[in-house]
Amino acid sequence: MSNNIVFCIPVRAGSKRIPRKNMLELDGETLLARKIRQVSSLGSVVVGSDDDGMLAEAKRHGAVTVRRQCTDEGRDTANCMIAEFMVLISQFLMGCENRTTIVWSHCTNPLVSTMTYHAALVEYERALKAGYDSLVSVHAIRGHYWSEDGQPLYDVERCRVHHMCASELPPLYEQDGAIFIQPYRQMMDNQYFFGQNPYLFRIPEREFLDINEQKDYLLAKAIIEG
């Protein structure tokens, strides 16, 4: 991979559903330390936070740190957060902006392996050559889903003739928040996680887990710690 790879890991003090969730521990290490370990062999790592403890934890584990201001979900949009992060890391790019690839990664996906991050980067390079402009990690879901306005998201008429079990239905793909990849310049310009034509990268089912609530954390502990 020829590009300069920079992993951006945003963490903040104000998590509402699980306070300070990025500092929760799994198997003796914080979620933040675990994520740095999972990606550090693949590129540079920059952790951005508004919290002194999280910044210190990131430094202890070898990451570069930047202090963020756009961290209030009730006030600051994701666009503001991304734009600020891109400006903050510009000081470290040293003229390599046009050759830098950003991998946006969250601590709350603790099961994603280094091997999967590497596979995503390889697929991203292939996807660029095929005309895509970014990569989004997803996982497949199958079910008899309906939209809020009462429209089926599966082929009801076909099911009337021969009912299909959920496992037989064509998959939908849920954006899982684990991996977003795009060129630095593009992320700076669009101020979003991905571009206009993203490639959908399916992470292994065994690695899909996003810690949003306490039950998710308990499940992660059960999987990792046994």
Per-residue pLDDT of 37-65, as tens digits, reads 999 999 999 999 999 999 999 999 999 99
- pLDDT tens digits, one per residue of 79-126: 999 999 999 999 999 889 999 999 999 999 999 999 999 999 999 999
Asked whether the predicted pLDDT for residue 215 surpasses 50, the reply is yes
User: Could you say which of 1.20.1050.10, 3.40.50.300, 2.60.34.10, 3.90.550.10 is the CATH number of the domain covering 4-137+175-225?
Assistant: 3.90.550.10
* Predicted pLDDT of residue 1: 34
Asked whether the predicted pLDDT for residue 15 surpasses 90, the reply is no
172-183/64-67 β-pairing? unpaired
Domain boundaries along the sequence of the chain: 4-137+175-225
Q: For residue 121, what are the CA distances in angstroms to 171, 184, 200, 211?
A: 24, 14, 12, 23
C-alpha to C-alpha distance for 43 and 6, rounded to whole angstroms: 6
* Predicted pLDDT of residue 203: 95
The answer to whether the predicted template modeling score (pTM) of the entire model surpasses 0.75 is: yes
Q: Can you tell me the mean pLDDT for 132-147? A: 96
Task: Please name the amino acid found at residue 31.
Answer: L
* Predicted pLDDT of residue 226: 82
Question: What proportion of the chain, given as a percentage, has pLDDT over 90?
Answer: 89
* Predicted pLDDT of residue 2: 42
Q: Can you tell me the mean pLDDT for 183-204? A: 97
- pLDDT tens digits, one per residue of 59-92: 999 999 999 998 877 788 999 999 999 999 999 9
121 DSSP assignment: H
* Predicted pLDDT of residue 17: 79
Asked whether the predicted pLDDT for residue 28 surpasses 70, the reply is yes
Helix boundaries (H) for 76-138: 78-93, 114-129
Asked whether the predicted pLDDT for residue 169 surpasses 50, the reply is yes
Confidence of residue 159 (pLDDT cuts 50, 70, 90): very high
The residues facing 151 across adjacent strands are none
C-alpha to C-alpha distance for 86 and 94, rounded to whole angstroms: 13
